[in-house]
């Protein structure tokens, strides 16, 4: 039980705890803050996996972008208590939980039989920004272009979708 | 070093928590947050395997997943806002227009 | 010359096509003459073929001209080929010759017909199909012609398909009856062909002779009986003769060409052509002879009481065909063909004369309304008299020689058949002269018709005279002891046995007596109304209602076959089709509808349930890959 393992268990437990917090909070803002911490713990885990650039990207994009976005939307929409409850609410979550546990059992059974460890601890040094950058822009350049197009489309789409419906004053004629 | 399978189990646990969250919450915003959590768990799996096989493709893929997730959240929240403007509620139990 | 046999088919086909496509721009006369010219061309080609064949030595008189390989499926091989031998040439001459005369006659007869273009197209098509039947060198080609003439017959019988009267019902129904009854015969033909191919291995006539040696007698009998079924259909014998009297609904030239001279002789031709098979089965031959003679007797008795002139001639045709079929069954192929040829001449003559009478009386052929017409229509009277004399077997006319040839063979083989034949010949003489005396002699029974009667134009009377001359002189084709036709046919039918002189003379004498006696009875009964005839008739008077109802054959068929079939098909149409078949089809749709009603409830519109199903799918695929794949 060395330091790496203890560290992993602590951070993992925090990750799981915040995840549960996201799911079970009654207040939407609390869920968003739990999510923020969850993302942070994941970033720490990425660092332990030699993915330094991605850890930074995780903080910037997810924690610093997406969660902020969600908080803005909560601000716009508000989180009034919800009234209607549909009939399937009584069994759908439990069915989901059962399925999830089944999945976990299956995966655990297969994976814990063969604990995998990388053979050469010093070989995986590719997570540094420069190395990842070289990889992306030389061998996987197509992905970069496609991601750019995707982001452009998403930008336009979000813009269109969230516009105010046309009223008399806003039409240009 | 921590064995890769531990990371995979952690990822599975986070995935399941996210899935149950999607199924049990009524507020559409919470559901979007849970979907993000599921995406992140998959990212963790990919990076774990990238370290395992010493192949940088895993990390490249995570890079793309992050881009897609960002775009998806943007568009999803835009849809949510549009729907809210229309019906003044974020309860997805009320979104049943496709009912038979 | 023999290589140009394709012209024999090309000319009628060309005529038919010209009339079909260009007929609307041609005047009636032109259409008729084009059709006749096509048949004239075919006749000249047939004549050329005959001369070429006569120029060859007797052993070489069997020429096959192959045009293309029609079907080759494994071992099954059928060429599209023509067999030019004595038999087919004789038949081709009869078909095209008599056909030519009837085409010319039709130009005048069908003068007032608005659908003349269609008529001449059908007539040329018929000539083409009949030539295919008689010239083809294999069963299948012959069957194509067989079906073709059946089709032409159907089309022409029901030519006035919109007409309806008390005697025939809907004229279209008469055509249907002919086709359906023929179909039963065709069923026998097809089965016979299948059996021939599967047992002998070839469908080509010239190869039959060599190939049938190892055929078991039982198999040969079955094949021959199936062929007989086909012949009874096409040649109107028991039990399938019922279509021929109804076929008189067609125009008279059609009756003359198809139902007297050519199509109905196809059965006789077919038996002669397949004689290699018939030689192996004497039982089938004897059955054929009995059926032929029974039909002859039956039809002659019915003809005695018919009042419509064409129907008398129709039953007469059935009767004479019975003679031919009987001769073919007994193996006297030469005699059968001889009677076929002479019958073609005098029966066509009789029908065309009857048509001339119809032309004069405006369509009335009920002999109880005619009478004394010989003063108004002398040419028609004379030609009809010559035809009737030939039919009755008056000595030195062609019919005398040909019928006598058949009777003598029967006398030699089977006395019972001979007696039936003799009685049938007597009845033939009586009814044929009954027709003559009642129609043309005596006092007119309907003054109105008598006043309007007039002689026919020469385009109709010249063919009548030509046929009359042929009816008189055609006897020389096969005089007793000279037997020109029998010798000519030897390459096809083999040697024929000589008939003892005594029997020949006996037969001739009895035939003469029968013919003369018959004419005298007819004269006494229908012309001079002498009392001794009534005493002669007394014992048979009880038969009169049966004869007038045509021995109830049609009624029996209606009762046992037609009505049950109609009932069954009615049940199928009213009950089975709407309830079972439509029910099944609609039921399938209904079941799917019901299932859809149930399954659509899955879409409750709730997103979490959709998400659950996606998650379920993910877990399932994961488990598949973990534990199975």
Give the span between the Cα atoms of B59 and C472, in whole angstroms: 115
Give the span between the Cα atoms of A108 and B12, in whole angstroms: 9
Least CB–CB distance from A110: residue in C604, C619, C626: C626
> Across the 173 residues of chain A, what is the mean pLDDT of every consecutive 10-residue run?
89 96 91 95 92 92 93 84 71 88 87 71 71 86 92 90 66 52
Please provide the distance, in angstroms rounded to a whole number, between the alpha carbons at the two ends of chain B: 54
Judge whether C63 and C491 are in contact, CB under 8 Å.
Answer: no
Give the span between the Cα atoms of C69 and C539, in whole angstroms: 63
Q: What is the pLDDT of residue C116?
A: 87
Peptide bond into C447 cis (omega under 30): no
pLDDT digits (tens, 9 = 90+) for C230-241: 999 888 888 888
Question: What CA dihedral angle connects C25, C28, C34 and C36, to 10 degrees?
Answer: 160
Smallest CA–CA separation between B100 and chain A, in Å?
16
With an 8 Å Cβ cutoff, are B95 and C615 in contact?
no
Residues of chain A with C-beta less than 8 angstroms from the C-beta of B72: 154
With an 8 Å Cβ cutoff, are A86 and C606 in contact?
yes
Q: List CB contacts of C558: < 8 A, sequence separation 6 or more.
A: none
Judge whether C60 and C86 are in contact, CB under 8 Å.
Answer: no
Judge whether B92 and B28 are in contact, CB under 8 Å.
Answer: yes
- All partners of chain C with 3 or more CB pairs under 8 angstroms: A, B
Give the span between the Cα atoms of C197 and C208, in whole angstroms: 10
Centroid of chain to Cα A141: 24
Bridge partners, C73 (sequence order):
C76
3-state secondary structure of C138: strand
Q: What is the pLDDT of residue A123?
A: 63
Give the span between the Cα atoms of C9 and C126, in whole angstroms: 11
Give the span between the Cα atoms of C296 and C316, in whole angstroms: 8
Centroid of chain to Cα C322: 12
With an 8 Å Cβ cutoff, are A88 and C616 in contact?
no
Give the span between the Cα atoms of B39 and B61, in whole angstroms: 12
Q: List the single best residue of C605, C609, C612, C614 to mutate versus B (max B Cβ within 10 A).
A: C605
With an 8 Å Cβ cutoff, are A22 and B34 in contact?
yes
Judge whether C399 and C391 are in contact, CB under 8 Å.
Answer: yes
Least CB–CB distance from A103: residue in C606, C612, C619: C619
DSSP class of residue C265 equals G
In a domain, B95, yes or no: no
- All partners of chain A with 3 or more CB pairs under 8 angstroms: B, C
In a domain, B80, yes or no: yes
- Average pLDDT value over all residues in chain C: 87
Smallest CA–CA separation between A60 and chain B, in Å?
11
SS (HEC) of C272-310 = HHCHHHHCCCHHHHHHHHHHHHHHHHHHHHHHCCCCEHH
With an 8 Å Cβ cutoff, are B23 and A96 in contact?
yes
Q: List the single best residue of B5, B8, B15, B19 to mutate versus C (max C Cβ within 10 A).
A: B19
Q: Model-level pTM?
A: 0.71
- Among chain C residues, CA nearest to B15: C615
Residue closest to C12 by CA, chosen among C135, C136, C96: C96
Least CB–CB distance from A104: residue in B16, B44, B50: B16
Phi, psi of C299 (to 5 degrees): -65, -40
Q: What is the pLDDT of residue A107?
A: 85
Residue closest to B39 by CA, chosen among B61, B69, B12, B9: B69
pLDDT at C451 over 60: yes
**Tokens standing for residue C170:** 């809907």
Least CB–CB distance from C606: residue in B19, B22, B93: B93
What's the mean pLDDT in C327-336? 89
Give kind and range of the element (H or E) at residue C494: none
Give kind and range of the element (H or E) at residue C239: none
pLDDT at C41 over 90: yes
3-state secondary structure of A164: coil
- All partners of chain B with 3 or more CB pairs under 8 angstroms: A, C
For residue B37, the enclosing domain spans 4-88
Give the span between the Cα atoms of B28 and A97, in whole angstroms: 19
Per residue in C54-75, is it b (16+ CB within 10 Å) or e — as a string?
A: eeeeeeebbbbeeeeeeeeeee
DSSP class of residue C162 equals T
What's the mean pLDDT in C452-461? 83
In a domain, B93, yes or no: no
Residues of chain B with C-beta less than 8 angstroms from the C-beta of A12: 6, 10
Give the span between the Cα atoms of A7 and C404, in whole angstroms: 129
Least CB–CB distance from A92: residue in C608, C618, C622: C608
Give the span between the Cα atoms of C120 and C31, in whole angstroms: 7
Q: What is the pLDDT of residue C460?
A: 86
Q: What is the pLDDT of residue C366?
A: 84
In a domain, B100, yes or no: no
Q: From first to last of its 100 residues, what are the pLDDT tens digits of chain B?
A: 788 888 999 999 999 999 999 988 888 899 999 999 999 999 999 999 888 888 888 899 999 999 999 999 999 998 888 888 888 888 887 777 777 6
Residues of chain C with C-beta less than 8 angstroms from the C-beta of B89: none
Q: Strand C169-170 relative to strand C164-165: parallel, antiparallel, unpaired? A: antiparallel
Residues of chain B with C-beta less than 8 angstroms from the C-beta of C606: 93, 96, 99
Give the span between the Cα atoms of A150 and A140, in whole angstroms: 16
Residues of chain B with C-beta less than 8 angstroms from the C-beta of C608: 22-24, 92
pLDDT digits (tens, 9 = 90+) for C220-273: 889 999 999 999 988 888 888 888 988 888 899 998 988 777 888 899 999 999
- The CA distances from residue B8 to A91, B49, C172, C620, in Å, are 28, 9, 88, 19
Q: What is the pLDDT of residue A115?
A: 65
Give the span between the Cα atoms of C267 and C91, in whole angstroms: 12
Least CB–CB distance from B48: residue in A49, A70, A100: A49
Q: What is the pLDDT of residue A60?
A: 94
With an 8 Å Cβ cutoff, are B10 and A62 in contact?
no
Smallest CA–CA separation between B67 and chain A, in Å?
6
Q: What is the pLDDT of residue A122?
A: 66
- Among chain A residues, CA nearest to C622: A103
Chain A, 80 to 139: residues with Cβ < 8 Å from chain C are 86, 88-89, 92, 95-96, 99-100, 102-103, 106-107, 110
Judge whether C111 and C34 are in contact, CB under 8 Å.
Answer: no
In a domain, B19, yes or no: yes
In a domain, B98, yes or no: no
CB atoms within 10 A of CB C334: 25
Q: List the single best residue of B18, B27, B98 to mutate versus C (max C Cβ within 10 A).
A: B98
Give the span between the Cα atoms of C223 and C200, in whole angstroms: 11
In a domain, B94, yes or no: no
Please provide the distance, in angstroms rounded to a whole number, between the alpha carbons at the two ends of chain A: 73
With an 8 Å Cβ cutoff, are A106 and C623 in contact?
yes
- Among chain A residues, CA nearest to B41: A42
H helix and E strand count, chain B: 3, 0
How many structural domains comprise chain B? 1
- Among chain C residues, CA nearest to B93: C606
C598 near B CB under 8 A: no
**Tokens standing for residue C462:** 């010249």
Q: Which domains does chain A have, with CATH numbers?
A: 1-81 (1.20.120.1200), 85-166 (no CATH)
**Tokens standing for residue C469:** 């001359």
Q: Strand C76-84 relative to strand C169-170: parallel, antiparallel, unpaired? A: unpaired
Give the span between the Cα atoms of C394 and C415, in whole angstroms: 23
CB atoms within 10 A of CB C401: 25
Name the residue with higher pLDDT: C195 or C489.
Answer: C195
Q: CATH number for the domain including B81? A: 1.10.287.3510
Give the span between the Cα atoms of C348 and C158, in whole angstroms: 20
Phi, psi of A41 (to 5 degrees): -65, -40
Residue closest to C509 by CA, chosen among C428, C388, C411: C411
- The CA distances from residue C165 to C172, C246, C310, in Å, are 11, 12, 15
Give kind and range of the element (H or E) at residue C81: strand C76-84
Per residue in C524-557, is it b (16+ CB within 10 Å) or e — as a string?
A: bbbeeeeeebeeeeeeeeeeeeebeebeeeeeee
With an 8 Å Cβ cutoff, are A107 and C622 in contact?
yes
Judge whether B23 and C608 are in contact, CB under 8 Å.
Answer: yes
DSSP class of residue C201 equals S
Q: From the CA atom positions of chain B, what is the Rg in Å?
A: 17
Residue closest to C134 by CA, chosen among C40, C239, C29, C9: C9
With an 8 Å Cβ cutoff, are B23 and C603 in contact?
no
In a domain, B56, yes or no: yes
Most confident of C128-142, C154-168, C539-553: C128-142
Q: What is the pLDDT of residue A84?
A: 66
Judge whether A56 and B62 are in contact, CB under 8 Å.
Answer: no
| Percentage of chain C modeled with pLDDT above 70 | 100
Least CB–CB distance from C604: residue in B23, B24, B99: B99
pLDDT digits (tens, 9 = 90+) for C73-112: 888 888 899 998 889 999 999 999 999 999 999 998 888 8
């Amino acid at each position: 039980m060395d330091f790496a393992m203890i560290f992993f268990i602590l951070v993992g437990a925090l990750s799981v705890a915040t995840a549960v917090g996201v799911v079970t909070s009654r207040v939407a803002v609390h869920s968003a803050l739990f999510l923020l911490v969850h993302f942070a713990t994941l970033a720490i885990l990425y660092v332990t996996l030699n993915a330094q650039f991605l850890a930074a990207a995780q903080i910037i994009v997810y924690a610093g972008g997406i969660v902020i976005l969600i908080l803005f939307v909560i601000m716009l929409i508000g989180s009034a208590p919800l009234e209607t409850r549909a009939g399937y609410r009584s069994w759908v979550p439990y069915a989901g939980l059962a399925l999830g546990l089944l999945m976990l059992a299956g995966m655990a059974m297969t994976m814990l039989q063969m604990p995998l460890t990388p053979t050469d601890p010093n070989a995986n040094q590719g997570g540094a920004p420069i190395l990842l950058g070289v990889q992306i822009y030389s061998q996987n350049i197509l992905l970069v272009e496609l991601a750019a197009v995707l982001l452009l489309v998403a930008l336009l789409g979000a813009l269109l979708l969230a516009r105010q419906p046309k009223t008399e004053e806003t039409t240009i004629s | 070093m921590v064995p890769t399978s531990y990371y995979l189990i952690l990822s599975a646990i986070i995935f399941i928590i996210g899935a149950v969250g999607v199924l049990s919450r009524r507020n559409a915003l919470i559901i979007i947050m849970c979907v993000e959590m599921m995406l992140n768990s998959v990212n963790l799996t990919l990076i774990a395997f990238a370290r395992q096989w010493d192949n940088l493709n895993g990390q490249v893929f995570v890079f793309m997943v992050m881009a897609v997730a960002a775009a998806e959240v943007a568009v999803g929240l835009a849809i949510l806002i549009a729907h809210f403007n229309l019906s003044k509620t974020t309860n997805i139990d009320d979104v049943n227009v496709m009912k038979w | 010359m023999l290589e140009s046999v394709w012209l024999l088919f090309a000319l009628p086909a060309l005529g038919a096509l010209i009339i079909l496509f260009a007929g609307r721009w041609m005047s009636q006369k032109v259409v008729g003459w084009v059709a006749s010219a096509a048949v004239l061309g075919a006749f000249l080609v047939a004549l050329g073929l005959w001369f070429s064949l006569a120029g060859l030595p007797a052993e070489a008189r069997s020429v096959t001209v192959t045009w293309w390989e029609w079907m080759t499926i494994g071992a099954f091989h059928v060429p599209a080929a023509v067999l030019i031998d004595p038999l087919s040439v004789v038949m081709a001459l009869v078909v095209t010759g008599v056909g030519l005369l009837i085409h010319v006659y039709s130009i005048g007869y069908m003068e007032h017909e608005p659908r003349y273009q269609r008529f001449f197209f059908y007539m040329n098509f018929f000539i083409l199909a009949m030539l295919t039947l008689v010239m083809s060198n294999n069963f299948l080609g012959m069957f194509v012609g067989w079906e073709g003439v059946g089709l032409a017959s159907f089309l022409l019988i029901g030519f006035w398909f919109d007409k309806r009267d008390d005697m025939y019902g809907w004229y279209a129904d008469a055509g249907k009856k002919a086709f359906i009854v023929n179909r039963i015969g065709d069923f026998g033909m097809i089965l016979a062909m299948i059996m021939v191919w599967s047992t002998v291995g070839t469908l080509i006539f010239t190869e039959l002779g060599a190939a049938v040696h190892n055929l078991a007698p039982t198999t040969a009998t079955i094949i021959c009986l199936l062929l007989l079924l086909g012949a009874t259909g096409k040649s109107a014998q028991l039990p399938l003769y019922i279509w021929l009297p109804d076929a008189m609904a067609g125009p008279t030239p059609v009756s003359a060409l198809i139902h007297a001279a050519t199509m109905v002789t196809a059965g006789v031709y077919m038996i002669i052509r397949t004689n290699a098979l018939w030689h192996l089965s004497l039982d089938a031959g004897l059955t054929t002879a009995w059926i032929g003679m029974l039909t002859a007797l039956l039809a002659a008795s019915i003809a005695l009481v018919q009042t419509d002139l064409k129907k008398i001639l129709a039953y007469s045709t059935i009767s004479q065909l019975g003679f031919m079929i009987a001769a073919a069954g007994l193996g006297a192929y030469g005699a059968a063909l001889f009677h076929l040829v002479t019958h073609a001449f005098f029966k066509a003559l009789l029908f065309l004369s009857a048509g001339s009478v119809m032309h004069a009386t405006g369509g009335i052929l009920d002999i109880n309304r005619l009478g004394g017409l010989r003063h108004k229509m002398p040419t028609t009277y004379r030609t009809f008299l010559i035809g009737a004399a030939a039919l009755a077997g008056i000595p030195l006319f062609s019919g005398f020689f040909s019928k006598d040839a058949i009777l003598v063979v029967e006398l030699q083989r089977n006395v019972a058949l001979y007696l039936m034949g003799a009685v049938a010949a007597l009845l033939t003489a009586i009814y044929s002269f009954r027709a003559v005396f009642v129609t043309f002699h005596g006092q007119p029974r309907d003054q109105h018709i008598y006043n309007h009667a007039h002689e026919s134009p020469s385009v109709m009377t010249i063919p009548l005279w030509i046929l009359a001359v042929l009816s008189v002189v055609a006897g020389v084709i096969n005089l007793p002891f000279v037997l020109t036709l029998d010798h000519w046919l030897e390459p096809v039918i083999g040697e024929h046995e000589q008939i003892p002189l005594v029997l020949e003379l006996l037969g001739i004498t009895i035939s003469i007596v029968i013919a003369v006696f018959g004419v005298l009875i007819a004269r006494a009964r229908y012309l001079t109304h002498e009392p001794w005839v009534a005493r002669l008739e007394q014992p048979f008077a009880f038969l009169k209602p049966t004869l007038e109802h045509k021995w109830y054959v049609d009624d029996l068929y209606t009762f046992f076959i037609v009505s049950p079939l109609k009932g069954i098909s009615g049940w199928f149409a009213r009950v089975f089709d709407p309830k079972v078949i439509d029910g099944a089809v609609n039921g399938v749709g209904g079941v799917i509808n019901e299932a859809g009603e149930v399954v659509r409830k899955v879409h409750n519109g709730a997103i979490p349930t959709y998400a659950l199903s996606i998650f379920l799918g993910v877990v399932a695929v994961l488990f598949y890959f973990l534990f199975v794949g």
